[in-house]
Amino acid sequence: MKFRIDKFKIDWVAVSFFLFVIFAIESIVLYFFDLVPHWFVSLQILLCCIIGIFLVLDSVKNHREIQRAFMNDERHELLRVINKAAADMELETLLADITPKLLEVTESMCGAFYLANASSDKLELKYSVGFSKNVFSEFDLSIGEGLVGVAANDKEIKIIRDVPEDTVFIVRTFLGKIKPRSILTVPISNQDALLGVYAFASIGDYNEVHLETINLLSFYIGSAINNCLTYEKIKRMSNELKFQNKLIQGLNEDLEQKISRRSMFLNGIIDNIPGHAIFVTDSEWQVLLWNTGAQDMFGCATSEAVGRQLKSVITDPAELEIIRACIRKAEDKLRYREEGWHTNKKGERFFAETSCFIRQSQKGDHLGTTTIIRDLTGFGRHTEDRGVK
């Protein structure tokens, strides 16, 4: 509890009491020495008492006004602290900054905040200051259980003056541990959603000024805590996404390595099939794959062929037309095979088997063609026709 002398004016109760004593002594002296009539002395005493009563009432009123002014100053300071702490978006930081200020404005000795867990209907002790270690014996409470649980269930600010002897809210003082005279429980909500409960304890008593102040501040505290919880949720989801991205990235790397090894394996097989020219084109006749057999047969290196148009790779117009005609015939049944004469890079004619396979998407869109030209010259077929133009 913080005491500020500069916030209080003259104590009129003491002044009125002093005047009452002076008038009383004067009245006694006048009475015993018969200096004035008795009725005058009685009237003086009566007037003194009336003035004293009015002064006492005025003093109480002034004291309340001074207390409200003090609370308003503390309230503005606390709102500034709440806004500053909420900008950090850390719940622990927010509670550490605003709890000492809340102790000041409520004139409490200690306080604790219990965070509501909607999934388990529990209240978990999140932060405390001033209480003895007994408070940790009730680390989590069910909503509706104990003083804090009842406040959470009713969602109403409560003052408990009949504090049980076995309460865990024991106040630590320089004289030792003592039971508080009163406990103030404050549910903290945001848009009717319970976020938690603040519990304060004092060796004094709470009044309507405390209730008015804490009732106003609870709205801003709820907004700040809700922002912190939202930030922590987003942060937790972000960390989970980062972990999943790392996991997916690792799986992609493994998959890419497997695909790369498989591609190298398949390319090794394709490149080492003797007498077979294998090349793949897309729907725009651009070369996607060109094996060693195609390089030997048509004279264009693989590094030069891939990415170019087929007509710029196979430069013999007659040979290009033979291949295109075979591809067009394959479009109806998605595959086609024929045997016929071809011309290699040296201009020599050779007999070969040409197979074309049309590649389609799941929707039936044309993706391209795989063409395999197999040289049959070495098998002795149509050798009698060699040299025929």
How many CB atoms lie under 10 A from the CB of residue 150?
A: 17
- What pLDDT score does 64 carry? 57
Nearest 5°: the CA angle 184, 185, 188 is 135
On the question of pLDDT at 339 being above 80, the answer is yes
Q: How far is CA 180 from the centre of its chain?
A: 38
- The winner for highest mean pLDDT among 4-8, 67-71, 72-76 is 72-76
d(C-alpha 322, C-alpha 34), whole Å: 150
Identify whether the C-beta of residue 182 lies closer than 8 Å to the C-beta of residue 204. yes
Which DSSP letter does residue 170 get?
A: P
Q: What superfamily would CATH give domain 89-266?
A: GAF domain (3.30.450.40)
pLDDT confidence bin for 299, thresholds 50/70/90: confident
- What pLDDT score does 197 carry? 93
List the chain domain ranges.
1-68, 89-266, 273-385
Q: How does strand 110-117 pair with strand 193-202?
A: antiparallel
d(C-alpha 52, C-alpha 26), whole Å: 16
On the question of pLDDT at 4 being above 50, the answer is no
- What pLDDT score does 308 carry? 92
Q: What superfamily would CATH give domain 273-385?
A: PAS domain (3.30.450.20)
Percent of the chain with pLDDT over 90: 14
- What pLDDT score does 62 carry? 57
- What pLDDT score does 186 carry? 93
Per mean pLDDT, which range of 63-67, 153-157, 348-352 is the poorest?
63-67
Percent of the chain with pLDDT over 70: 70
pLDDT confidence bin for 119, thresholds 50/70/90: confident
**Cross-strand partners of 375:** 352
d(C-alpha 324, C-alpha 301), whole Å: 21
On the question of pLDDT at 297 being above 60, the answer is yes
Per mean pLDDT, which range of 49-63, 124-138, 282-296 is the poorest?
49-63
Q: Which of 264, 150, 263 is nearest to 197 (CA)?
A: 150
Question: What's the mean pLDDT in 136-142?
Answer: 69
pLDDT confidence bin for 14, thresholds 50/70/90: low
On the question of pLDDT at 83 being above 90, the answer is no
- What pLDDT score does 174 carry? 67
pLDDT confidence bin for 336, thresholds 50/70/90: very high
Taking all residues of the chain, what is their mean pLDDT, rounded to a whole number? Answer: 78
